[in-house]
Amino acid sequence: MEMNADAFEELVIDELDRLPDDMVEGLENIVFVVEDRPEDGSLDLLGLYDGLALTERTQYGMGELPDRIVVYRDPHLAQCDAEDELRDEIHTTLVHEIAHFYGIDDEQLHEMGWA
């Protein structure tokens, strides 16, 4: 599937807006970023949470750099054939990475059906 960076970013924003309020209300000091690929250039990783989960924080306050959730465009496009499929995959990636922010690990995500 082909899609330019601006159109992909619009889909990510749209899917962020569709997430349940109770999922996003607790997000603070976090930025969402769209990049083409992970640093290693692979197409295997769809997203990344770069930060310290809420469950691992002892003190968090002023002056802290924001955590980041990165959504990778090229891996998503490589795995999807249609826009509906792409939207679903972006949605799942966002939920997966936000879960990491809240301290939910991959094993728990598998149990919940999100990984």
| Tokens at 70, concatenated | 């990165």
| pTM of structure | 0.90
SS3 20: coil
Quick one: pLDDT at residue 54?
A: 87
The helix (run of H) or strand (run of E) holding residue 18 is: helix 5-18
Q: Residue 93's closest CA among 6, 40, 32, 10?
A: 32
pLDDT beyond 90 at 61: no
What mean pLDDT value characterizes the chain?
91
